[in-house]
Amino acid sequence: MHARRVAVIVTLLLGSPLLAAAQPKSITLPPDHAFSDLAPGPGVETTERACRSCHSTDYVVTQPRGDARQWEGVVAKMMSVYGANITADEAKTIVQYLSRQYGK
Ligand code: HEC
């Protein structure tokens, strides 16, 4: 009886979103199209990590080139509209990287 109750509690805990949130998961993304590889440069790792979790970086490399203001708008939209998990510091690095590599 007691063991059974413990088992139920453990099962509930394992399925709980709280516990899931406490254990970061690591996933390996499938290879992307070669043309969507981000250009090398300072900030590329941050951009790769932050901008490839929801979609291919072909969304980035096929955009019309734009200045920092345009890229700031894109990054802000990814964060506020789609909930991209990006810190303010990372956003700054990403905007600098994008406007340097994909700027006008
Ligand atoms: C939380 C998920 C998520 C993350 C992380 C994310 N995006 Fe997006 N992004 C989206 C969605 C959803 C769309 C719209 C897809 C569609 O319309 O087919 C999109 C579309 C875009 C587009 C196409 C233009 C537009 O505004 O719709 C660009 C450019 C883009 N993302 C760039 C980025 C960059 C740069 C980053 C990293 C800072 C990033 N995304 C990170 C979800 C995300």
pTM for the whole structure: 0.81
- Of the chain, the end-to-end C-alpha distance in Å amounts to 70
Q: Is the pLDDT confidence value at 17 over 80? A: no
Token readout for 13 is 């805990």
- The count of domains in the chain is 1
For residue 7, what pLDDT band results from cuts at 50, 70 and 90? Answer: low
12 domain-assigned: no
- 7 within some domain: no
Q: Is residue 14 part of a domain?
A: no
Residue 13 lies in a domain: no
Q: How does residue 19 score in pLDDT terms, banded at 50, 70 and 90? A: low
Q: Which residues line ligand 1 (CB under 6 A)?
A: 50-51, 53-55, 59-60, 63, 74-75, 77-78, 82-84, 86, 94
**16 alpha carbon to ligand 1 midpoint, in Å?**
29
pLDDT on residue 64:
93
Cα separation, 10 vs 58, whole angstroms: 43
> What's 42's domain CATH number?
1.10.760.10
91 found inside a domain: yes
Ligand 1 centroid to Cα of residue 85, in Å, is: 12
Task: Assess whether pLDDT exceeds 60 at residue 22.
Answer: yes
Q: In this structure, is residue 52 part of a structural domain?
A: yes
Q: What does R_g of the chain's alpha carbons equal in angstroms? A: 19
Q: Which two tokens stand for residue 86?
A: 């990006």
Give yes or no for residue 82 having a pLDDT over 80.
Answer: yes
Which domain covers residue 57, as residue numbers? 29-101
Q: What is the pLDDT of residue 90?
A: 98
